Structure 1
């Protein structure tokens, strides 16, 4: 997800402890339907404070979440051999910057978790935006 703050007025941010935020992430993961959750393979979901743009990226890039790994649609029978877990990062400060209430944080965390898990299943950003999970 790139720069959700672009073009939006910024009226302040909601403060939430790390443990409360982690609980919101856990709650979002728990909302994934069981049959779909059973298909999530070898993925670590972590909370990080902020995405740090890499060399060559826009230094002002803001991400709410990031999937790093090999989507299930691109894996082969050999993909898991010697392969570290895929990683989904949920960026706490970026989400808090965007939200003004606990409800907004919980909603945005759910959207972000679903968005990044969808990448694990090979769904691209364009499709996610069309489905309302952008």
Structure 2
């Protein structure tokens, strides 16, 4: 584990910039699947989300996709919010502090998995996309 004791925790805006850069590094075909997806960064999930996801702690959830997946893409309803991935800064930073990987890699991993699971991709598909993003 690396020593990060002298580093300052990235702000919400800095995590959002890391996420935008991570998203831009994803393979074009994957990004095309989620055209128009919005990336939102908050410190923690709200109480309703924690309840909905059956979380025991506000640190249990690193990210969440909200929106309409490919299987339902033709079913739009009035007032429907745009597809979005929420990244939760404090849980991400907590996880990052305990593991030996870069914050950029962690954010990329969470983005791929939140979008990928929602669009019905397998873990193998997501591992390939992640490997392409790392290349």
Q: TM-score if structure 1 supplies the norm length? A: 0.70
Q: CA deviation at 1:107?
A: 0.9
Q: Secondary structure at the match of 2:23?
A: helix
Determine if the alignment matches structure 1 residue 25 to structure 2 residue 19: yes
Q: Secondary structure at the match of 2:44?
A: coil
1:21-77 deviations in Å (ceiling 9; x for gaps):
11111111101222332232442211111124126824326111101122112333x
CA distance in 2 between counterparts of 1:31 and 1:56 reads 29
Paired residues for 1:35-114 under 5 Å: 35-52=29-46, 53-54=50-51, 57-60=54-57, 62-76=60-74, 79-82=75-78, 83-100=80-97, 104-114=102-112
8 Å CA contact retained: 2:38, 2:85: yes
Aligned length: 119
8 Å CA contact retained: 1:48, 1:92: yes
Change (3 A) 1:60 1:131: same
- Greater share of helix residues, 1 or 2? 2
8 Å CA contact retained: 1:45, 1:90: yes
Q: Which runs of 5+ in 1 are unaligned?
A: 1-10
Corresponding residue for 2:123?
A: 128
Structural RMSD (CA): 3.2
Change (3 A) 1:56 1:117: closer
Q: CA deviation at 1:129?
A: 7.3
